[in-house]
Amino acid sequence: MHHGNHFYGHAHVLAEYCGLDPADPPRIDGYLQHGWNVVDGLGAGTPYAPGRPIFVWSERTRRRAWSMNRPMATVIGSPFLYLLNSLADDEQPEDGQQPERDGTIWYPFHGWEGQKVDGDHRRLIDEIVATEPGPITFCLYWHEYSDARIRAAYERAGRVICHGYRGYMRMRTDTRFLHKQLAELRRHKRVASNRLSSAVFYGVAAGCEPAVYGNPMQLAKEDAPTAERIRREWAELHGTAPDPGTARRIALAELGDGYLASPAELRATLGWTTGDQR
């Protein structure tokens, strides 16, 4: 259906979970939520064909979709949780000793092809360095990582990485995006950003302590009331040291913990049980 279903390798992760070829996932019969959002699960501006299913991460998102006259919303949980649960055994070393986490992985708020983010990166970096106690890994989105000026500013303050290219129109998708993100999150003690985002929730689910602070920056043509509502509605997740227990409860709920389907159920839900869906 929509090419956004392949963003971050989501369709590939779900195909592998279902026992299908992760390199060539079948076409999903509907729209798959590709990032945490506070509306109906679709990305802003996503053209929607009425009557098509929307596969959302959480019950809360499903209720919002229904309130927006999108009754075809079904909760399946986030692809990240499917991956995390599938690789849970990887967290158990043979000697029983858990590797020690160290430092902070920091995700600066980012733009994309259609919207650029505007803000003082140098000022944000200064605040991060003054706040974080240990080594810092800055994970830039591909859009900022490709900007040599922005990347250099972060390289002067710590290690800089990029999980890969999200993909566009099913081209250049880094199908291992979530795998690389999970591996990095498991290395760090803290996960932080200047905006509450998917990455923060992923980090909390993977065992990191969260933080959301610093200049939130401005996205071109951003819906300011929505951004303000996020800061107001999830106030307990903002700050340099939110309560880890509260954060984990909220993160797992937003990611759809408790709604993950079995491989057979997921194949049926996504339309992967009859013929060639490509």
Could you write out the three-class secondary structure of the chain? CCHHHHHHHHHHHHHHHCCCCCCCCCCCCCEECCCCCCCCCCCCCCCCCCCCCEEECCHHHHHHHHHCCCCCEEECCCHHHHHHHHCHHHHCCCCCCCCCCCCEEEECCCCECCECEECCHHHHHHHHHHHCCCCEEEECCHHHHCCHHHHHHHHCCCEEECCCCCCECCECCCCCHHHHHHHHHHHCCEEEECCCCHHHHHHHHCCCEEEECCCCCEECCCCHHHHHHHHHHCHHHCECCCCHHHHHHHHHHHHCCCCCCCHHHHHHHHCCCCCCCC
Boundaries of every domain in the chain: 3-78+256-270, 98-254
* Token duo for residue 127: 């605040």
Enumerate the β-bridge partners of residue 168: 171
Q: What is the pLDDT of residue 264?
A: 97
Phi, psi dihedral angles at 91 (to 5 degrees): -85, -5
Contact 175, 225 (CB under 8 A): no
Residue 92 sits at φ, ψ, to 5 deg, of: -110, 90
CATH architecture designation of domain 98-254: 3-Layer(aba) Sandwich (3.40)
Measured CA to CA in angstroms, residue 133 lies from 102, 103, 186, 189, 259 at distances of 10, 7, 18, 11, 36
pLDDT score for 172: 80
Predicted local confidence at residue 95, as pLDDT: 52
Is the overall model pTM greater than 0.85, yes or no? yes
The tokens of 43 are what?
């990305």
Alpha-carbon gap, residue 199 to 141, rounded angstroms = 11
> Phi/psi at 73 (nearest 5 deg)?
-85, 130
Distance CA 81, CA 222 (A): 29
CA distance 147 to 95: 43
**Whether 260 contacts 77, CB under 8 Å:** yes
Do 123 and 213 meet the contact criterion of CB atoms below 8 Å apart?
no
Mean pLDDT per 10-residue segment, the chain (278 residues): 87 96 93 92 81 95 93 96 86 61 94 71 96 95 90 96 83 90 97 96 98 87 83 96 98 98 96 67
Residue 113: what pLDDT?
A: 64
